Amino acid sequence: MILPRLQHTTAPAATLLIRCMVGGVFLSEGIQKFLFAADVGAGRFAKIGIPSPEILAPMVGAFEIGCGVLVLLGLFTRLAVIPLLCIMAVAISTTKIPILLASGFWKMAHEGRTDFSMVMGCLFLLLAGAGPWSVDAGRNRMKVGS
């Protein structure tokens, strides 16, 4: 009973653009955590002080890939953005807050523009759903037609 409500959406078709942005960025970032582990994966996690980077970086990368694909497809979109929002909360607290404290608001605003865009995109999808051009909407149409 709760799954149909999570998949319900009245968002406009243009929501596909937000899904492409959010899903594409997270999919790309997740893949890069495996391809370039020293720079953006475990090496980066160790550099910024995240514990157990050799475990957490691949786990975060896997979530970014899996949830990014779900967002791109528009499948379980509202559920998929929740882990992505958690990832963004950690990213902001470990990388952007230190910039704010050391260099001020404008430096942090510049460095955090992608993070801010991803958070806003995820929040939009959490609230609005995947839109009519999504697997979620297609599944709902099939259920109504049954």
Kindly list the domain boundaries of the chain, sorted by start residue: 14-136
Helix axes 15-35, 53-73, angle to 10 degrees: 150
Q: Write down the pLDDT at residue 115.
A: 97
The pLDDT value recorded for residue 142 is 75
Q: CA 113: distance to chain centroid?
A: 14
Long-range contacts for 34-41 (Cβ within 8 Å, ≥24 apart)? 34/58, 34/61
Two tokens at 141? 């149409």
- What one-character-per-residue DSSP string does 92-107 give? IIIIIHHHHHHH-HHH
What is the band of 9 on the pLDDT scale with cuts at 50, 70, 90?
A: confident
| Cβ-Cβ contacts under 8 Å for 142 (sequence gap 6 or more) | none
Q: Is the pTM of this model over 0.85?
A: yes
